[in-house]
Amino acid sequence: MKAIISASELADELAGGDPPVLLDVRWQLSLAKAAGEPPFDGRATYAAGHLPGAVYVDLDAELASAPSSAGRHPLPDPEVFGAAMRRAGVSAARPVVVYDGGQGWGAARAWWLLRWTGHPDVRVLDGGLPVWEGELSTDVPEPAEGDFRPAPAHNGLLDADGAAALARSGVLLDARAGERYRGEVEPVDRVGGHIPGAVSAPTTDNVAPDGRFLPAEELRGRFKGLGALDGTEVGVYCGSGVSGAHEVLALAVAGVPAALYVGSWSQWSSDPSRPVAVGPDPQ
């Protein structure tokens, strides 16, 4: 099953007899409080214009639990997540397409959660809203209740111990910016640096300047160069399990299965007993 869909492909499907459910997951990591600016408001952005028929999904409230010792964006309660998806019209037998404002992180979080909890057909609009050439709508749809019931998988998810072990036995990719990996800056979490053994692999390097993913063959070459060879177990983490989902999506485009450490650096760095590596090298 394809993980992404182009704008032209989506337009064709929406014009067909069995259009996918559309989810708008516009979100961005906000440092507004520190800068004295108002935080990003995804719901207001949605209200100003969205794909016709799309339902807004709040990443912080519906795709994550409240911040805790488990990280800044822990897994949502399955009942809360399931109810939100059903309100949005998500059903097990109907395709879903998710999009955001172009960065891809919010959409990837929704894609990963739906796939991990058992939905068989979820794709991300490659490039997000900026690549859409059709009209936008300000109408708020009222979809029929869906029937999707989350059934979390037994694989595809790492905890802190699993991430540490994978950094030794396989490949653990750090999807954050290189300067955060190296510990040169840390704008959000307690300390800078990375999980010992993790390899720096900024998810921003997986996309072209317009926000669309690089061709699958290029992505395969990139990940192979990072050690993600055939038969190698691969895991990903980031700051709080959002941009890491975008890297897992890029790996899926490349045909490489990968697990996600949802707690990520926000959980790891909050535990003083966890070791921290700094500098450009994994160890």
CB proximity list for 83: less than 8 A, separation 6 or greater: none
Dist. CA 233–CA 188, nearest whole Å? 29
Among residues 259, 240, 258, the alpha carbon closest in space to that of 27 is found at: 240
Count CA atoms closer than 13 A to 202's CA, side-chain side: 10
- Give bridge partners of residue 157 from the DSSP assignment: 260
**Spatial distance between the Cα atoms of 71 and 54, rounded to a whole number of angstroms:** 29
| Active-site position among 85, 108, 238, 254 | 238
Interacting residues of 203 by C-beta distance below 8 A, sequence separation 6+: 105, 175, 238, 243, 244, 246, 247, 250
Task: Specify whether 238 is catalytic.
Answer: yes
Residue with structure tokens 């007993």? Answer: 273
Closest of 96, 92, 62 to residue 80, by C-alpha: 62
Cβ proximity of 159 and 172 under 8 Å:
no
Active site residues: 238
